[in-house]
Amino acid sequence: MSRSVLVTGGGSGIGRALARAFADAGDSVTITGRHPESLAQTDGGRGMACRMADVTDEAQVAALFDSPFDVVIANAGGGGAGKLRSVTLAEWNATLAVNLTGTFLTFREALREMEPGGRLIAMASIASLKGGATIPAYAAAKHGVLGLVRSIALEVAKKGITCNAVCPGFVDTPLAAQAVASVKGRFGMTEDEALAQVVADNPMQRLIAPGEVVAAAVFLASPAASMVNGHALSVSGGEI
- Each domain of the chain, given as residue ranges in start order, spans 4-169+209-235, 171-207
Strands (E), 124-226: 162-168
Low-confidence ranges of the chain (pLDDT < 50): none
Contact predicate 15/8, CB 8 Å? yes
Per-residue pLDDT of 72-126, as tens digits, reads 999 999 988 889 999 999 999 999 999 999 999 999 999 999 999 999 999 999 9
pTM as predicted = 0.95
What is the CB neighbour count within 10 angstroms for residue 81?
18
152 is catalytic: no
The active-site residue out of 87, 138, 208, 220 is: 138
If residue 187 lies in a helix (H) or strand (E), which one and from where to where?
Answer: helix 174-187
Task: Give me the CATH topology for the region 4-169+209-235.
Answer: Rossmann fold (3.40.50)
Distance between CA atoms of 57 and 34, rounded to whole angstroms? 12
Within 10 A of 51 (CB to CB), how many other CB atoms are there?
A: 18
